[in-house]
Amino acid sequence: MTTVAARLRNRVAIVTGGASGIGRATVVRLLEEGASVVIADLNCDKGETLIDELINRGLGDRVRFCECDVAHEPDMIHAVRLAVREFGRLDCMVNNAGIGGAFGPIVDTHVEDWDRTHEVLLRGVFLGIKHGARQMIRQGEGGAIVNMSSVAAISGGGGGAAYSAAKAGVLALTRCAAVQLARHRIRCNAVLPGTIVTPLLTRGGDVDSMRQIAKETQPWPEPGVAEDVAPVVAFLASDDSRFITGESILVDGGIAAAGPNIYRGDHPLGEAIKERMVASGIQSFDAGTVADLQADRTAEYQGPPRTVLITGISRGLGHALATKLVELGHTVIGCSRTESAVAELRTRWGPPHRFDVVDVCDEVQVRAWADALEAHGQVPDLLINNAAVTHRPAQIWRLSTQEFADVLKVNVLGVVNVLRHFVPAMLKRGTGIIVNFSSGWGREAAARVGPYCASKWAVEGLTRVLAAELPPKMAAVSLHPGIVNTDALRQNFGAAADKYPSPEQWVQVAAPYILNIRPRDNGKALSVPGMTEFRGWGPSR
């Protein structure tokens, strides 16, 4: 058997979430045992700080950093390719990146927080297994995959519901992968840490007091630290575990044996964590994801002025968004089918803003518009497909073929026409963000809005296809703008539309949120924060 200090020599590993906490300790341990490591993490500042520390220790030639959102498949593909390009191969994939996710009662959990929790904790592990295993299979020499689960996966009170469910999913996924990959000599195991005092847990609070609380709520007399977990990961990455696969290893100081219930009643550790969360001003127990990302995206946009193209600009959300963007100093280009509305916009805002009478359903008009703008050097940095129509509320069999066609023509063909004639110029430049307005009815269904639902589901699918076709510095996203008191909403909700925010209220949140969409969001289905709460149909239903 090789010595511990050398047992990972000539091995190459990727550690997601490797810039801090358990991931950081794992990176250091793998390097100390001879491996080369790619740190994949969203936190560039911490990643660069760690790289500098490792360079000072003489380990810089065996470590690289890449910015990586584990829920975003292109980022995971990039991390694997970087490992192969820099070190020639991949032998171990450590799927460690995590967040605390939504906490609190299930009945009070927002679906957006639930989804983001699972995006990172479960989807991220799936993508790590998928692309890590693909590379190992190509190499034909086997490998090891280590997935970070939690003691919360086996306890109904060991964590928030979203977190516990996702971590339990990691265990099931680990077993499935172990069975499927065994014939390729790829081992897949899970590690279940207990209460490990990391930045995720303390959120900048008193570390010593948190360690004391952790110590008092577990059988083992010392609190757990990240360095207690890292050697287990290194063991599972090495040949010393060559006949272990599909296993789940607890590293918890006896918590599971004792049967804790952290988040119910007056458990001191659960209460201490919640106090720190509340003091931090958040409602999700996470580390810079659900609540913090929304805060980042709704914060004031800090980038340079942009050229923004908006279709359907004459009223509603399009008009409110144009007004706000001009106020913020951006150049707005817009179109509408209504000549009087366009004339009014031209009078209100002169050059460099530009407004044209264009029917997005007419490809000839859209092509001419795109050509004219490109000739004047007005290629959009941000393209917003907002133009859409609705129809009278009625069951599918009570709507005419023409009513279906009219909705699909504007809401789908109109989007396609704009994409076909503006995206090529954006591709030439190599940058740009495309936002296709969808709807809650593009992700769920409701009675009496069949054509509209069909059109917005189509926009969702079309956006995903487009996202797969764009280069790295561009992005296409679908956006559920929320439930806003517009003419279209009043057509379906009647007087109940007054329960919802006006376009002028909506845009205060929506404008910075849209401006802060980035290339790493490519392919995502986004929603304007705080604007999707359902408040009732009204008598028209």
Catalytic (active-site) positions:
452
CA 298/CA 292 separation, integer angstroms: 10
CA 414/CA 208 separation, integer angstroms: 59
Q: Which helix H or strand E contains 83, and what residues bound it?
A: helix 73-87
In the 3-class helix/strand/coil scheme, how is 132-189 assigned residue by residue?
HHHHHHHHCCCEEEEEECCHHHHCCCCCCHHHHHHHHHHHHHHHHHHHHHHHHCEEEE
CA 512/CA 400 separation, integer angstroms: 40
Cα dihedral 189, 192, 193, 199 sign: positive
488 Cβ contact list (under 8 Å, min separation 6): 316, 388, 389, 390
* Helix, strand, or coil (residue 357): strand
Cα dihedral 221, 222, 223, 227 sign: negative
Nearest residue to 245 (alpha-carbon basis) of 188, 303, 205, 286: 188
∠ at Cα 423 (420, 426), nearest 5°? 160
